[in-house]
Amino acid sequence: MIWIAAAALVAVVVAAFVPAALRAARVDATPEADVYRAQLRELERDRDRGTVAPEDYDAARAEIARRLLAVAPDETPATRGPGRVAIALAAAVVAAVGLGTYARIGAPGYADLPLAARIDAVEAARAARPRQAEAEAGVQDRIDAGAETAPLVEQLKDVLRARPDDERGHELLARHAAAIGDFEAAWRAQDRLLAIRDGGSAQDFATLAEMMILAAGGYVSPEAERALVEAGRLDRSNGLARYYAGLMYAQQGRPDLAWPIWRRLLAESPPGAPWSEPIRLQIEDVSARAGDPTPLSELVVGVGPTDAQIADAAGMSPEARMEMIAGMVDGLASRLATDGGPPSDWARLITAFGVLGRSDAAASVYAEARGVFGDDPAALDALARAAETAGLAP
């Protein structure tokens, strides 16, 4: 169908040129018209030889042209001839541009892939993805059998087979098995520990998910996802669970969900948080695939740093850079509260607060800005777009 549509588009565009081009190219084949055309050609040769004075040439040419128009109304001496060439060139250019563009960004042979259908396909693939045991089967063991605690781990395994309800034993096994890289034994011990306790904290479930993910070579299985969901239910601010939730969405073709999770987590994380560096290594790729290719630092720095501040930021640690960015955002907020500013500055502040994970501040600024620009529809549209970017509910 794409080729039919492309051919139809070429035909429509070329058809727009055809009437004018054919009018310019149409030649009346009457004998009188041929005589006048011959006279014009002879007159031009006389002018070139210098046998006709310029003023006589102009007068004679005007008279012959008048007579030619009388017998061939659609033709003038200056417009005869190039119409067919123009049609051919127009068709060639339109076809070449269309085919070149499609070859670059299209997918010949594939059916249409609207966003809703793509999301449905991703969700179906998520539901059918490999489970924990299948994922672990393809991961090579990385156990450090030479570690000092390795014998203790093996002893604990033997003891706990006969004592499945030993809470302290499973706690020790989970910790020491993870330390030597035996993540399968670690997550099974952690899972049993939570069953014995009939639950646990958000961190307990996040740790369980992390052990399962490491045992599967970094893959987030449905079982690990359930642990992450429970951790998030108990504490939505848990950094470890949020990091792995973002990783899960990034793995499963939903960068649009991974990007806002990681963006806010990175902005809210304290210096030295264990997930900060992994996020920084992946977030630009995830943001580009999510349709927002602006790096996190540039996105927030857009509130208006000087060139010197940008140069200084290049040498800062990521944590210091984020602190500087937060300071600039607060400075913009203070200026707008005191002196006001154009809608673009208010929109920029709303977006910046959203990037920093300060949703309450973004909502407050949005409400205030709507009051300031309530009579300006264009400003309200810009503010609404900024609020949407900041993750505020419509």
Of 98-107, 165-174, 285-294, 318-327, least confident by mean pLDDT is 318-327
Per-residue pLDDT at 300: 45
The residue with greater pLDDT, 292 or 383, is 383
The residue with greater pLDDT, 133 or 272, is 133
* Most confident among 96-110, 243-257, 330-344 (mean pLDDT): 243-257
Stretch 327-331: mean pLDDT:
75
127: Cβ contacts below 8 Å, ≥ 6 apart = none
The candidate with the shortest Cα–Cα distance to 265, out of 237, 302, 235, is 237
**Region for residue 70 given its phi and psi (left: phi exceeds 0; alpha: psi -120 to 50; beta: otherwise):** alpha
Full-model pTM: 0.53
Per-residue pLDDT at 219: 93
| Measured distance CA(331)–CA(329) in Å, rounded | 5
Per-residue pLDDT at 208: 96
Stretch 342-367: mean pLDDT:
84
Q: Domains in the chain, please, with CATH?
A: 2-105 (no CATH), 161-293 (1.25.40.10), 297-389 (no CATH)
The residue with greater pLDDT, 308 or 225, is 225
**Residue 198 DSSP SS3:** coil
| Measured distance CA(229)–CA(223) in Å, rounded | 10
Please count the CA atoms within 13 angstroms of the CA of 349 that sit on its side-chain side.
28
- The pLDDT tens digits for 120-154 are 777 788 778 899 999 998 787 778 877 888 888 99
Angle (nearest 5°) at CA 129 between 124 and 130: 160
What share of the chain in percent tops pLDDT 90? 25
| Measured distance CA(361)–CA(378) in Å, rounded | 23
Per-residue pLDDT at 30: 62
Q: Phi/psi at 82 (nearest 5 deg)?
A: -85, 0
- The pLDDT tens digits for 28-86 are 456 777 777 888 888 888 888 888 788 888 888 888 888 777 776 655 444 444 556 66
Rg of the Cα atoms in the chain: 36
Q: Which pLDDT band holds residue 294 (cuts at 50, 70, 90)? A: low
The residue with greater pLDDT, 81 or 211, is 211
